[in-house]
Chain A
């Protein structure tokens, strides 16, 4: 992490917020753009989960993290609270690592 990246991210994030709220304010985007932007979190968050579960640099691996995230998925499916999902994911990963 460099300070340049911190500042670039800060300027970009605030830029988007100001663009929407202050500069464009109240105008409407074409419906198709609206729909696609609304899907950014789903697409990217899914990708980040995959990367942080199976990725190791440029290699794909199945290790303790897969067990932890598997349990986290089950917990989310069973509507466990956020804290439980996170703690279970971390704890199972740590335990599998310890055992392995």
Chain B
């Protein structure tokens, strides 16, 4: 369905598409691709509104290819922050992809070239879809199909959004709020975990308090202090701590 190279995993069963698990992965990753596309459109619009050119906007999606970092950088620049502040927040958000890489490494064999391509596709969606599979072969398929599908949708829809952003006035259409609204939709499911809820609360409050007293963009960096919610090692959480 995409041009992503499937790793050479030796003997491949004759009917890949006849495998129900594979069909399920493919349909799930296409659905995911469409959802990601909606984000990408709002990224494209916001990026252009923040002063990036269409080419720069597309380059960000093609090369950086990790949504939260792209959103963060554009958001900081859009409100007048420095390049350094924009870079700092985006880099912090990109760091989690290293953790996904560590998690995926045992499951993705193949030659160095294949792994270097796989690295670019190592993002939230591909990792989540892969680790949800039980079978090693399904894991690889889920990773490549999801990564490829998201890459395709993310980039084509970024272009669409960037062109749209140059055609309309984002403020008239409330598109500056599309940005944080998309993030509300991302954040909400994370809050079910107690630690994440604490991290989010601390991050939000720290940002609010530091906006008036630090340069634009720096509050996002200060908010990183919220990750310290992960320090206590006690796993036992009070019953009801994690909502269903």
Tell whether, in the assembled complex, residue A43 and residue B226 are in contact, meaning their CB atoms are under 8 Å apart.
yes
Stretch of B5-13, B14-22, B175-183 with 4 or more beta carbons under 8 angstroms from chain A: B175-183
Q: Which of B130-180 contact A (CB under 8 A)?
A: 171-180
Taking A54-B211, A91-B174, A97-B174 as contacts, is the C-beta distance between A49 and B102 under 8 angstroms?
no
Q: Give per-residue flags for B32-53: 1 if the beta carbon is below 8 A from chain A beta carbons, else 0.
A: 0001001100100001001111
Q: Could you tell me if A72 and B224 are in contact, using CB atoms closer than 8 angstroms?
A: no
- A18 and B90 form a contact (CB under 8 A): no
Q: Are A60 and B180 in contact (CB under 8 A)?
A: no
Partner among A34, A44, A46 whose Cβ is within 8 Å of the Cβ of B89: A44
Quick one: closest A residue to B124, CB to CB?
Answer: A41
Whether the pair B115, A22 counts as a contact (CB closer than 8 A) is yes
Q: A51 contacts which of B52, B83, B185, B207 (Cβ < 8 Å)? A: B207
- Please report whether the interface of chain A is mostly helix, strand, loop or mixed according to DSSP: helix
- Verify A26–B102 contact, CB threshold 8 A: yes
Contact A27 B212 (CB under 8 A): no
CB pair A49–B204 under 8 Å, yes or no, is: yes
**Interface status of A5 (Cβ within 8 A of chain B):** yes
Instruction: Establish whether residues B101 and A69, one from each chain, have CB atoms under 8 Å apart when the complex forms.
Output: no
Given A47-B223, A69-B181, A94-B173, A20–B99 Cβ distance below 8 Å? yes
Whether a CB of chain A sits under 8 angstroms from the CB of B28 is: no
**Is A39 touching B229 in the complex (CB atoms < 8 A)?**
yes
Q: Of B87, B119, B179, B223, which is within 8 A of A18 by CB?
A: B119
Q: A9 and B64: CB pair below 8 A?
A: yes
List 18 extra interface pairs beyond A32-B233, A83-B35, CB under 8 A: A1-B47, A1-B51, A3-B56, A5-B86, A20-B97, A21-B118, A21-B119, A25-B102, A26-B102, A27-B102, A41-B186, A43-B199, A47-B222, A48-B180, A52-B176, A76-B188, A89-B181, A90-B177
Residues of A within 8 A of B (CB): 1-10, 12-14, 16-22, 24-29, 31-32, 34-60, 64-65, 68-69, 72-73, 76-77, 82-83, 85-95, 97
